[in-house]
Amino acid sequence: MSTLRWSDIVDNPLLQNLPFKIELNRWGKIEMSPASNQHGALQVDLATELKKRRGGRVLVECSIQTSDGVRVADVAWVSNARLKRLGWCTPFTEAPEICVEIMSPANTWAEMHMKAGLYLAAGAQQVWVVGLDGKRTVINPPAA
């Protein structure tokens, strides 16, 4: 079997409208994670909060090419300048300025820190890790 690319997944009609989120790891393997209705409601709340920021756009289920394959941020805020530079490529080749991950019961803090590190390495300026209770941890890049 050949290694999948993100475009293979996006263009595959069998993978459209799935009831769960998928990501592609560095080996071209699809990873799936189901989201709860509570997760979806929190995603909308966070997107609404980020929409109040001027000078950019809010995206949900934002695909980002990382050093560990394509990861999908639950919510992201990208500046108009970065969006102009990137265009609407899928996945983004650079992370939006703010990437948000909502923890589900199946997630571990180690996994969330790993994903935060991937987003920061790909250019994010902040990563928010939000629990289903709404509590937020903000992770910034290490000081230079």
Q: Which residues lie below 8 Å from residue 67, measured CB to CB, with a gap of 6+?
A: 26, 118, 121, 122
Question: Is 9 among the domain residues?
Answer: no
Q: How confident is the model at residue 7 (pLDDT cuts 50, 70, 90)?
A: confident
Range 26-43 average pLDDT: 79
Contact 136, 130 (CB under 8 A): yes
* Number of structural domains in the chain: 1
pTM of the model: 0.80
CATH number, domain containing residue 68: 3.90.1570.10
The residue range of the domain holding 92 is: 36-139
Q: Name the phi and psi angles at 3, rounded to 5.
A: -75, 130
Comparing 100 with 24, the larger pLDDT belongs to 100
Question: Is 30 among the domain residues?
Answer: no
Percent of the chain with pLDDT over 90: 62
What share of residues in the chain are helix, strand, coil (percent, to 5)?
A: 30, 35, 35
